Structures are given as structure tokens and as C-alpha cells.
Structure 1
Amino acid sequence: MKSKTSALIIATLVLAACEHSTPQTAAPVAKAPAPASSAPKSASHFTPPPESAIPNDDFGKQVALGRQIFMDPGKYAKAYVGNQLSCESCHLDAGRLAHSAPLWGAYPMYPAYRSKTHDVNTFAERLQGCFNYSMNGKAPPLGDPVLVALETYAYWMSKGEPIGTSQPGRSYPKLSKPALTPDYARGETVFKRDCALCHGDNGQGQQAAGHTVFPPLWGPQSFNWGAGMELVTNAAGFIKANMPLGRGNTLTDQDAWDVAYFMNAHERPQDPRYKDSIPATRAAFHDTPDSLYGTTVNGHLLGQGGASP
């Protein structure tokens, strides 16, 4: 109990620092909005039920278990996790927050055809992909208690939504193409100014009492090259709407694009779909300007899983 309390205190202090502090070395920055910002508008969106509304019955036990897995898969789904991330690393506020791919935005949209798999996937199959790629682990088999609990949590959170109708805030915002091509050096400047305080100078995140407080953004403990966040488009939209934590929509669109590029121009674990060679894998799974896999940045061919540029 003592260690949990300590972790909570440390996490609260670090979060407070990220929301209200600026590194000593950072220069004063004027945060004027970009003239043509594509920030999410304040359109109304679905409001999921609060945690306090989880029913006190056998169904509610599965909902609560799904939430526990979502928040701490390293503890509750350890056999299927291969890094220090949690589901909440990319789906904020326990999967509730609009514009961070909330569970309530995803569940009613499945089954769905996905270009990534060239097939119609169920929601459970979509969850399997999260373990394979974002968690750099292995997929629980269909029907596994981990998948059942997560799906139950998503179903409970989505009650009252229309099926098959895309809701405002259901995914990450789609930013307009930037005025300037995303740039590593500009992105590094944004990272040092707005991101390093929480995620560390080396992007490896922060832990407290053995728990990840702020996730690693690249390297062996981050998502692998098969995850959706490796696409600069997805990363830029997520960053624009949600980062720095607690201060979403304060970066300009250009800053979001640049720092997304900088983040994804670092090495991370290999794509599990690796096929013969990096060029072959890029041709098969990353043939888009939004992916840096198989491209050369600062003299380093990305996709080797080794040292970053």
C-alpha cells in the first residue's frame, strides 16, 4: 500500500510539473494560434458513463477488470505485453477522452473493413492488433479472458451510441497538410521545449515506483514499427489535440507535425510483419509518405531496431 501511495504522489507531482512548468533552459515562447489551425472544434460529443456507474454485479466485474487491464496491462495482461506502455498511453483518461481514439468511438464501428489487414475485422481482432503492435507483445487468442474483459469495458462505455455511425471526437484529429514539410531539427526544438520535461531528454519516459508515469516515445520500450502511431499523420493529430498533457491545442499545427516527425524518426522495435528485408517490408506495409520506416534520416536507415539517428 505504501508503494502505491508513493507512486500516486510522485505521479501527481510530475503531472503538475508538466502542466504548469517550463524547463529552466527553455526560452519564452509566444503561443499565438496558427492562422489556419485545424484544431478540433468544440463540437459536442458522446459522454460515456462515469466509473462510478459500473454496476455491482457479475457483468460489472468484467467491466471493472477490463478497465484495470486497460490502465495497467503490464500487471493484468502481463503474458501479452512486451513494453512499458499501457492502453491509456494513446487513449487518454481510461479510454474516455474525445480526440484520443476513445473506446466509445471505436466499439460501435466494428466489424469493419481495415486496409491494414485487407479484411473485415471484429472489435476483438482490432484489440489483438493493439497487443501485437502498440504493446509490442503477442495477441491474446480470441475468447481469452483479457479480450473478453476489454471488449466488455468498451461495450459498457458505448451504451446508448448509434451503431456504425462515426461520432465527433472518435479518433485523432486529421490535421491539414503543414505549410512547411515536417522537419527533424524544428521537431527537436519543439520536443526540447514542450515534451522533454515529461518524456525525458532521451524520449524514454518516466517511471515512479516501478510504474510508467509518462510513456517512452521511441526505443525498445515503446510501440513497434507496426503500430498506427508510427504514421506521422496519426502522431501529429494526437499531439495537436492532447499534448503537452493537460494543454492540448496549444501547439501550432506546424509544431505538431514537426515534433511528430522527430518522434517517429527514431528507432523502435521491428515490425512483427517483417518480410525478408527492410525495403521489402516497407513496400508491403509502409508504402506511404506518412511512414518513415525504411527511409534514411540523418544518415540512419530506419527499421533496423538499433540506435536512433
Structure 2
Amino acid sequence: MKYLMTLALLMTSLTTLGNSLPDGPPEGGASILPADHDIPKDEFGKMVRQGQLIFSNTGQFAGAYVGNDLSCRNCHLDQGRKAGSAPLWAAFLSYPAYRAKNHRVNTFAERLQECFVYSMNGKAPPLGDPILVALESYAYWMEKNAKINPLLQERGIPQLQKPGTPPSYERGKTVYANNCALCHGTSGQGRRANDGHMVFPPLWGDRSFNWGAGMAHLNKAAAYIKTNMPLSLGGSLSDQDAWDVAYFMDGHNRPQDPRYTGSVDETRALFHRTQNSLYGHLVAGHVLGNDPVSKN
């Protein structure tokens, strides 16, 4: 009973967090962001509000381009405002920019397209699509009081140095059970509210992000976890615990990398030749990327 009461409280709190925009500055940020009631009551404001809806419930409002149970707000916390969780407004100020992932300069709209392809395990809305325009409008509106700065401290996710001891699947399993399973489920498939919408996102399996997503890289996952998790308790895990639980999370199979060539070895050589990717590695008895995980 105590477990159920705690879970209900957590789910209620996150639902409230995900569906409201607080006034005031972003947590840890230097820029004052506009409040929800500042959205103008004109045609531009309508597009901003549509972007806000897409950001909060991506599958509902952009379902044609989403292939899993994630929404933008699951990773970009506090409705895309929170520093240290790749805030949307700071990303808007950081583009155009060169990306090593595709070896060219990307616009902000192109960066959003990749979020749909990889993190949402879906497909990219065409450039100029109302969905992209709405998300761009929401990001643009949020950053209206910020200053353009390529070294903006709030952008992206703070880097986390590798621990003294290599990360461990077994240690990560313990960290997950003690700190993550209550929200994300013992099998990592997330938890839904009574009305059916996903409150805590799945972390692996066929309804999570695919192997091409940034969170499938240990360094990015560990840094995000250290800064932001458990929810509202960011910074409470040790660096070692963050790396260990990132290893455990990324040590499970998930949807295939959209760039898959037909060979796990070849795909790894082309796109995952880094110590931070477990793709193609034998972990817990499975060669990751080999198991058939469906893409809906």
C-alpha cells in the first residue's frame, strides 16, 4: 500500500509538471523565460500554443511522425525550460551548427527532424511542415529574452567525466532497482496514468528510443541521469552510479538504428565506433542490435 501511495503521488506530481508552465527563470538558468500567460493572443500565439501541445503530448498531436511512447517533454524537462536537460529554447539559439553525426551544418528545423527519427523512433516531418513550424515557434517564443551566445551555459547537457571504475551492468541493475524502477517500471517499460497516457517513459524495448538516439550513448545518458534523475533529485546519484545505471539502461535492446545497413557489425563500424555505444556488443548474453525489436 505504501508503494502504491508513493507511486500515485509521483505520477500526479509529474502529470502536473508536464502540463503546466511555471513563471520565472529556468532552474539554474541565467535567462528569464516568459510565462505561459505571456503567450500572445494572436495568430503567432496560436502557433506557439500548438507547439506547446506537440511538445507535451507528441504522440497525440504529431502521431504520424512518432513510433514510440515518448514525448519531447520526457527528456527536455520543465516543458523544455530546464537547464541541463537540453532545453528547447537554448537549442534554438545554438543553430545553425555543424553536427558530427551527419557531417554538415544543420538548421534548428533539421535538428528537430532528427529527434523524430531517432528519439521518437519515427520519421521526419518535411521541412516547413506545420508540426515543425509550431515547435520552432514555441522555442522562439521561449527564448525571446535570451541573448544569442554559442557558449550558452544552459544549452545541452553538462558533460560528466568517466568514473575511475568502468561502468557495470550488475551495479547498474542495483542502482536502477533502488532509484528508477518505481517510476520507469521493473522492466523499463514506463508507467501510464489512469487515463492511459504515458507519464514515465519506457527506457528500452520496442516503445523506447532507438539505437541512433543520443541517449543510446553512455556518456550522454550518464550525464543526463546525473544532472536530472531521479526526478526532482538531480545530482543525488554519484558519478559512478550514473554511469553504471546508464550502462544498465543502454545494455538492453531497443529499436534498430534507422541507418542499419543489414549488418550489425557494419552498422557499428559506420555509426557506433565509440566506447560510448554498446551497439553490437555482447551484454548480459545478448549482442545488442541483433534481437528483432519491432518498429511500430
- TM superposition score normalised by structure 2: 0.89
- Equivalent residue number for residue 15 of structure 1: 11
* CA deviation map 1:72-105 (0-9, x unaligned): 0111101001000000111001101110000121
- Equivalent residue number for residue 108 of structure 1: 93
Pick closer, same or farther for the CA change 1:211–1:163 going to 2, 3 Å.
same
The Cα shift of 1:166 comes to: 2.3
Pick closer, same or farther for the CA change 1:190–1:110 going to 2, 3 Å.
same
Matches within 5 A, 1:217-296: 217-296=203-282
The Cα shift of 1:11 comes to: 8.5
| Structure with more relative contact order (C-alpha pairs < 8 Å, separation 6 or more) | 1
Q: Do residues 138 (structure 1) and 120 (structure 2) align?
A: no
The Cα shift of 1:12 comes to: 6.3
Unaligned runs of 5+ in 2: 1-5, 15-26
* CA deviation map 1:11-49 (0-9, x unaligned): 86233699xxxxxxxxxxxxxxxxxxxxxxx96532321
Matches within 5 A, 1:40-189: 44-189=29-174
SS at match of 1:109: coil
SS at match of 1:245: coil
Q: Do residues 214 (structure 1) and 210 (structure 2) align?
A: no
- TM superposition score normalised by structure 1: 0.85
Contact 2:28 2:83 in 1 (8 A): no
- Equivalent residue number for residue 20 of structure 2: none
* Paired positions, count: 276
The Cα shift of 1:172 comes to: 1.1
Contact 1:46 1:167 in 2 (8 A): no
Q: Which amino acid aligns with 1:233?
A: N
Alignment RMSD: 1.9
Unaligned runs of 5+ in 1: 1-9, 19-41
User: Residues of 2 paired with 1:281 and 1:275: CA distance?
Assistant: 6
Q: Which amino acid aligns with 1:299?
A: G
Aligned equivalent of 1:300, options 273, 283, 286: 286
SS at match of 1:251: coil
Query: Percent sequence identity over matched residues?
Result: 59
